[in-house]
Amino acid sequence: MILGVHVSGAGKIYQALDVAHSLGCDTMQIFSRSPQTWRNGSQISPDDIKEFKFRRKKLKINPVFIHISYLINLASPDIRLWRGSIQAYIEDIREAEKLGVDYIVTHMGSHKDTSEDAGIKRLIEALNIIIEKTKGSKVGILLENTSGSGSWLGYRFYHQHKILKGINEKTRVGLCLDTAHAYLAGYDLAVKEGLDKMIDEIESMVGVKLIKLIHLNDAAGELGCHHDRHDHIGKGNIGLAGMKRIINHPKLKNIPMILETPKSAADSDKKNLDLVRRLGRR
């Protein structure tokens, strides 16, 4: 099992590695900057990048994922926001490259009440520009499924199918599977039949082999409610048996898993990680 958590980026970026190591993590996910702000020209210093790479190698945290800013919307009908999102994404990939990060995780954007097809078309165009402008980069791009709230894309895997079909250079693009988002979008992961149905759909639409990361979260909302709310492992509506089934599924168990569960107490991450490890040994 390759297991980790989303670690706060407070302080120096390399300090996140120490936190992950202290929790016994094999892997981790971070924001390289505040998820609610634009970059405004700020960059991680060369010394901090050097220290990040040194500590990562020493602590053996692998792979490392960066989650993209929530402000970026590659499906936006607002041309100014769409162009700004592309530029910010390119900057983030270039910085991830300097850090030696393996993947960038991104939500697929909101079509802002235009249409899903129009939003997908804009997203494909944006990704083709981004991939072309960062040609030669080793940083992969992972499309994360969503709960489908509002006009967000990615709540059904035929969206990812359409996007991958339209991308010119596909080798750097994969999937991030969020278990809470899937349940909240209507995939009943609380039962074996629902989990198998989702995996079969992913296999037929894009291929399970493209899943490079699992966001392992329980769901605080009802099945198909489309409200994006995560819960502690076993405490939500997927439940302990459902989470155990996901963790041990033969097609999923060797994929890196990152917890984005609530940090409601100082030891929340430790408790959730310990529980996942126990479920994985049963």
Q: Which domains does the chain have, with CATH numbers?
A: 3-281 (3.20.20.150)
Phi, psi of 213 (to 5 degrees): -155, 140
121-176 per-position pLDDT tens digit: 999 999 999 999 999 999 999 999 999 988 999 999 999 999 999 999 999 999 99
What predicted TM-score, i.e. pTM, was given to this entire model? 0.95
Question: Tell me, what amino acid is at 209?
Answer: K
Q: In the prediction, which pLDDT does 199 show?
A: 98
Q: In the prediction, which pLDDT does 215 show?
A: 98
Q: How far apart are CA 118 and CA 102, in angstroms?
A: 30
Instruction: Grade residue 113 by pLDDT with cuts at 50, 70 and 90.
Output: confident
Give 110's DSSP letter.
Answer: B
Res. 33: pLDDT tops 90: no
Q: In the prediction, which pLDDT does 9 show?
A: 74
Residues sharing a CB contact under 8 Å with residue 259, sequence separation 6 or more, in sequence order: 3, 4, 5, 6, 215, 216, 217, 233, 269, 272, 273, 276
For residue 236, count other CB atoms closer than 10 A to its CB: 25
For residue 179, count other CB atoms closer than 10 A to its CB: 29
Which among 103, 74, 71 has a CA at the least distance from the CA of 86? 74
Which among 241, 239, 259 has a CA at the least distance from the CA of 249? 241
Q: In the prediction, which pLDDT does 40 show?
A: 67
Averaged pLDDT, 245-267: 96
Q: Which helix (H) or strand (E) holds 257?
A: strand 257-259
Averaged pLDDT, 206-222: 97
pLDDT, the chain, mean: 94
Averaged pLDDT, 202-206: 97
60-89 per-position pLDDT tens digit: 999 999 999 889 999 999 999 999 999 999
Q: How many Cα neighbours within 13 Å face the side chain of 79?
A: 0
Q: In the prediction, which pLDDT does 35 show?
A: 62
Supply 152's token pair: 């967000």
42 or 213, which is more confident: 213
Alpha-carbon dihedral sign for residues 64, 69, 72, 73: positive
What is the full DSSP assignment across 7-35?
----S-TTHHHHHHHHTT-SEEEE-SS-T
Supply 266's token pair: 């100082």
Q: In the prediction, which pLDDT does 92 show?
A: 93
**How far, in whole angstroms, is CA 156 from its chain's centroid?**
16
Which among 202, 186, 205, 206 has a CA at the least distance from the CA of 249? 202
Res. 197: pLDDT tops 90: yes
35-66 per-position pLDDT tens digit: 666 666 668 899 999 999 999 999 999 999 99
Res. 34: pLDDT tops 80: no
Residues sharing a CB contact under 8 Å with residue 94, sequence separation 6 or more, in sequence order: 134, 137
Q: In the prediction, which pLDDT does 168 show?
A: 97
Cα–Cα distances in Å, from 157 out to 72, 200, 254, 279? 21, 11, 21, 27
Q: Are 153 and 162 in contact (CB under 8 A)?
A: no
Res. 206: pLDDT tops 80: yes
Q: In the prediction, which pLDDT does 32 show?
A: 76
